[in-house]
C-alpha cells in the first residue's frame, strides 16, 4: 500500500505519521519524486481502515500495490539502488566483476588467482569456503580455514571478498569477515536463513534457484529486505530445463525483466549458467549487452586440477582477454 501525501505536507507531520505506522508493525519506505511525496507500507495491510487513513490531513490518496513484493519493487523505490562496498559501486550504471576459484583450495592457489584477477580489472575476489555439492563424497570446501585464506587474500590485494553462506551455523563469522554474503541457488528459498541474513544488514548476493521463477526470486529478496537487508543483488545463474547441451540454461532475458520489476542490481553468472569454460565468454559478453550490472566468473590457475568445477573455470590468461572485451562492449552500449 502507498500513501500519497499532499504537496504541502510538513516534514514534522510526515515523520509523525511514519513513526505511527512503524509502531503498527509496518516497514515504511519514504518515496520522493519531483512532484510527489509518498509513504510505502510493507507488511500485512489487510486490516487497515482505508477510510480512516484517508481522513488524515496530509494524505491525499491511497494506492494499493498489486505485486506481492513491496520493498524490492520499483513502486516503492523507483530509482536504481547503488551498492558501495570497499570503494566499489554496483548498480545504477556502475559495473562490477567478481572473479576467483569456485573453491578455496590453498594459500598459494588463492593468492595467485586473486593477484591475477585484480591485475585484469576484477573488483571483487570470489571463493567458496563451504561448498554445497551434489555428491556427499565430493570436496566440501576448507570451511573456516578457507575463510581465513580469503581474508588474507583481501589483505594482500585490497579486493573485497564474496563467499557463500550455507546455513545459520556461521552467521557471526560471515557478518564479521565477509564483504558480500552469497546465498546459493539451493538456499534461495531457505526462508529461515534469509531472515537471519537479512538481520545482519550486510550486502547479499542472492542466486536464482535451479528451477525458480523470477517472481519467486523477487519474493526471496523480499524476505532479505523485510529482515533488514538493504544492499541486495540478484544473480541469474541458469535454470534447469530439458536441455542437456549445457549444465544449465542461462536465462539472459531475466536481466531486462528484473530491471523492469526491481531497483536491485542484477548480476549474471555465466560459469554456472553454462558449465563449460568456452561458453563463458560469449555469455558474459551477452550479459553485458543485455544490461547486467555485473558478472561473477570462476577463474582457476590450473582448471584441470581444480577440486571443484574445473570444466567451467577460465584460466587467468583467458579471463584477462575477456575483461578487455567486456570493456569494449560497455563502451558500445554506454
Q: Give a yes or no: residue 71 inside a domain.
A: no
Mean pLDDT, residues 42-52 taken together = 69
Whether residue 217 sits in one domain with residue 278:
yes
pLDDT reading at 56 higher than 90 = no
**Least-confidence region, from 7-11, 164-168, 289-293:** 7-11
Q: Give a yes or no: residue 74 inside a domain.
A: no
For the chain, the straight-line distance linking the first and the last C-alpha, in angstroms and rounded, comes to: 36
State residue 253's pLDDT score: 98
Question: How distant, in Å, are the alpha carbons of 115, 116, 221, 288, 312 from that of 108?
Answer: 11, 12, 36, 31, 21
Q: Total structural domains in the chain?
A: 2
CATH number of the domain enclosing 22: 3.30.70.1140
R_g of the chain computed on alpha carbons? 21
Phi, psi of 101 (to 5 degrees): -75, 150
State residue 8's pLDDT score: 82
CATH number of the domain enclosing 213: 3.20.20.70
Mean pLDDT, residues 2-9 taken together = 82
pLDDT reading at 325 higher than 80 = yes
State residue 197's pLDDT score: 97
Whether residue 58 sits in one domain with residue 127:
no
For residues 2 and 65, the answer to whether their CB atoms sit within 8 Å is: yes
Q: Give a yes or no: residue 128 inside a domain.
A: yes
Looking only at the bridges linking them, the beta strands covering 83-85 and 37-42 are unpaired
Mean pLDDT, residues 79-86 taken together = 95
Whether residue 184 sits in one domain with residue 43:
no
Find the domain containing 17 and state its range: 2-63
Q: Give a yes or no: residue 69 inside a domain.
A: no
Whether residue 126 sits in one domain with residue 35:
no
Q: Give a yes or no: residue 76 inside a domain.
A: no
Instruction: State the alpha helices, DSSP H only, in the chain.
Output: 11-23, 50-54, 107-120, 144-157, 171-177, 191-200, 214-227, 254-261, 270-274, 277-290, 316-333
Whether residue 143 sits in one domain with residue 278:
yes
Looking only at the bridges linking them, the beta strands covering 88-90 and 37-42 are unpaired
pLDDT in tens, 204-261: 999 999 999 999 999 999 999 999 999 999 999 999 999 999 999 999 999 999 999 9
pLDDT reading at 63 higher than 80 = no
Q: pTM for the whole thing?
A: 0.85
For residues 3 and 53, the answer to whether their CB atoms sit within 8 Å is: yes
For residues 113 and 299, the answer to whether their CB atoms sit within 8 Å is: yes
pLDDT in tens, 189-200: 999 999 999 999
Amino acid at each position: 500500500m502507498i500513501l500519497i501525501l499532499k504537496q504541502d505536507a510538513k516534514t514534522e507531520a510526515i515523520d509523525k505519521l511514519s513513526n505511527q505506522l512503524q509502531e503498527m508493525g509496518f516497514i515504511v519506505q519514504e518515496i520522493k519524486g519531483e512532484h510527489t511525496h509518498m509513504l510505502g507500507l510493507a507488511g500485512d495491510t489487510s486490516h487497515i481502515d482505508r477510510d480512516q487513513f484517508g481522513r488524515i490531513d496530509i494524505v491525499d490518496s491511497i494506492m494499493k500495490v498489486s505485486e506481492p513484493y513491496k520493498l524490492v519493487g520499483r513502486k516503492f523505490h523507483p530509482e536504481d539502488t547503488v551498492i558501495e562496498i570497499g570503494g566499489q559501486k554496483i548498480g545504477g550504471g556502475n559495473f562490477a566483476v567478481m572473479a576467483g576459484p569456485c573453491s578455496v583450495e590453498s594459500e598459494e592457489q588463492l593468492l595467485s588467482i586473486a593477484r591475477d584477477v585484480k591485475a585484469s580489472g576484477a573488483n571483487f575476489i570470489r571463493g567458496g569456503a563451504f561448498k554445497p555439492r551434489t555428491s556427499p563424497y565430493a570436496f566440501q570446501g576448507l570451511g573456516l580455514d578457507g575463510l581465513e585464506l580469503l581474508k588474507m587474500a583481501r589483505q594482500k590485494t585490497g579486493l573485497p571478498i564474496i563467499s557463500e553462506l550455507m546455513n545459520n551455523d556461521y552467521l557471526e563469522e560471515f557478518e564479521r569477515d565477509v564483504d558480500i554474503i552469497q546465498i546459493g541457488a539451493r538456499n534461495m528459498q531457505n526462508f529461515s536463513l534469509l531472515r537471519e541474513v537479512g538481520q545482519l544488514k550486510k550486502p547479499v548476493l542472492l542466486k536464482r534457484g535451479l528451477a525458480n521463477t523470477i517472481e519467486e526470486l523477487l519474493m526471496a529478496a523480499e524476505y532479505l529486505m523485510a529482515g533488514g537487508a538493504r544492499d541486495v543483488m540478484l544473480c541469474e545463474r541458469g535454470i534447469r530445463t530439458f536441455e542437456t547441451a549445457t549444465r544449465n540454461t542461462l536465462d539472459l532475458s531475466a536481466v531486462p525483466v528484473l530491471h523492469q520489476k526491481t531497483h536491485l542490481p542484477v548480476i549474471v553468472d555465466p560459469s554456472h549458467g553454462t558449465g563449460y569454460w568456452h561458453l563463458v565468454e560469449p555469455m558474459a559478453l551477452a550479459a553485458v549487452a543485455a544490461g547486467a550490472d555485473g558478472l561473477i566468473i570462476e577463474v582457476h590457475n590450473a582448471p584441470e586440477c581444480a577440486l571443484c568445477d574445473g570444466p567451467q573455470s577460465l584460466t587467468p590468461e583467458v579471463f584477462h582477454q575477456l575483461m578487455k572485451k567486456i570493456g569494449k562492449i560497455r563502451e558500445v552500449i554506454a
